A and B are shown apart, each in its own frame.
Chain A
């Protein structure tokens, strides 16, 4: 059974700092990996989707990497802003979406 782990569980940084969120998974036979953002009381917003054949995806200040062989993905956020404060979840797909528990990010002004 696929298990997805996210470290750290919570992170607090000052505005402007670059940061990395980590996601690891136990079964490398995946279709893709997706990073989401969840704001309190809201649903999930898809940030980036990396297909299994890809190594990374970029959108604005966000960059996600995927290393299938080691079962790892990272989400890099450049020049963090208070508006980036949210919970970030990664999910791996292999005919079944498995989510990590998330990293709660706080960016302080």
Chain B
């Protein structure tokens, strides 16, 4: 069974440019999460989808970040325009839907490293 895959693995862009990160969750996983780790600090939650619906986007830093999950399958995270402080590793994770007690394991991708110059 394929795991969570993320693309690209590394992206280097200049300030003001646009970058789109993609995540393909494990097939059948309704929950999809985006997290970010900046400069060796803690991994911070960005948002959570259940199928195509945004369940919680409380961690999105600002309106330069846009996440979508069309059809409830893969997800994209677009940063436009990118700023220096957006540099970091963006992780995607998925898990099966477990109803009211979603306390199970998250399955993570390898992450997409974003460098903004």
Q: Do A and B bind each other?
A: no
